[in-house]
Amino acid sequence: MKDIKLKHQNGKPLEIKIKGQKIGRGHYTMIAGPCTIENHEDLLAIAVELKKMGIHFFRGGAYKMRTSPYNFQGLGKKGLEFMKRVADETGMISVSEVVSTEDVEMIKEYVDILQVGTRNMSNYRLLLRLGKVNNPIILKRGFSSTIEEWLLAAEHIIEAGNSKVILCERGIRTYETYTRYTLDISAIPAIKELSNLPIIVDPSHSSGRREMIKSLSWAAIAAGADGLLIETHFSPDKTVCDSKQTIDLEMLKDIIEGNKKLLNLWD
């Protein structure tokens, strides 16, 4: 950061508009949905329930980054078609991950907001390509990236032409093994100090523990985060992946109730 002047370091906080919704300071964007898209029926059922709670954004994974080549890799394009169909049916805004440069052109037609996963934060060729699309980009922090490297990764996208970047803190790798990753709550005030980009938090991947999601979600909003990205399913124990960190719809309602008490903290 020392000598470099980042394009997103100054000026008033960025407000991103999409399908009538706003993302940025004071808008508390809530994004929920399953880890992986399994079929159209379940995805629609979840989206409908989310909409009833007043949620405008739903997520689902079509292309998965799996540590082992022998694990389920996602439905691929079929999953994207379900995303688009559910977005059309509900009027909601869809979020899904792009894992390779060669998919960008295709995915941008199916999904509203493109997500860069933690393992791709430093995939600069992918970032460059995402600088050429119009979709907002959720840029997850690399699980061992510094705040400086994360801000510079955002700069790769912005410098290439797309200023609609949303940063997402999702936990960093430390020596502690009780949680899957360690949610770096300090990243929230740091980003608000150093950048005008919106900063949201993913409590699901950071903890890997369902019973912590409420606590971490409220902590994030109280710390000043602009939104949350939470893995949610009507039947978490039956999901194909990430069951242990996926919450049910009841807990999501609880979190939203609590959030209401927190929204005017920073006014």
**Whole-angstrom distance, CA of residue 70 vs CA of residue 257:** 40
Of 259, 196, 250, 187, the residue nearest 30 (C-alpha): 259
DSSP code at position 92: P
Minimal distance, residue 127 CB to a copy of itself, in Å: 8
Nearest residue (CB) to a copy of itself, 5 versus 12: 5
Minimal distance, residue 40 CB to a copy of itself, in Å: 25
Nearest residue (CB) to a copy of itself, 238 versus 260: 260
Amino acid identity for residue 48 in this structure: V
Minimal distance, residue 197 CB to a copy of itself, in Å: 15
Nearest residue (CB) to a copy of itself, 89 versus 265: 265
Nearest residue (CB) to a copy of itself, 6 versus 138: 6
**Could you list the residues that contact a copy of itself (CB under 8 A)?**
4, 65-70, 99-102, 119-120, 122-126, 143-144, 146-149, 152-153, 155-156, 159-160, 172-179, 182-186, 188-190, 193, 206-207, 211-212, 215-216, 218-224, 258, 261-262, 264-265
Amino acid identity for residue 19 in this structure: K
Question: Which SS3 state, helix, strand or coil, does residue 17 take?
Answer: strand
User: Which two three-digit tokens encode residue 242?
Assistant: 């990430």
Cα Rg of the chain (Å, integer): 17
Question: Which SS3 state, helix, strand or coil, does residue 173 take?
Answer: coil
Of 37, 149, 144, the residue nearest 95 (C-alpha): 37
Nearest residue (CB) to a copy of itself, 70 versus 134: 70
**Whole-angstrom distance, CA of residue 62 vs CA of residue 86:** 14
Minimal distance, residue 90 CB to a copy of itself, in Å: 30
Beta-bridge partner residues of 32: 58, 230
Minimal distance, residue 26 CB to a copy of itself, in Å: 15
In which element (H, E) is residue 178 found? none
Minimal distance, residue 89 CB to a copy of itself, in Å: 30
Minimal distance, residue 2 CB to a copy of itself, in Å: 11
Nearest residue (CB) to a copy of itself, 23 versus 126: 126
What is the widest separation between alpha-carbon atoms in the chain? 52
Of 167, 205, 212, 208, the residue nearest 187 (C-alpha): 167
Nearest residue (CB) to a copy of itself, 42 versus 169: 169
User: Which two three-digit tokens encode residue 186?
Assistant: 């300090």
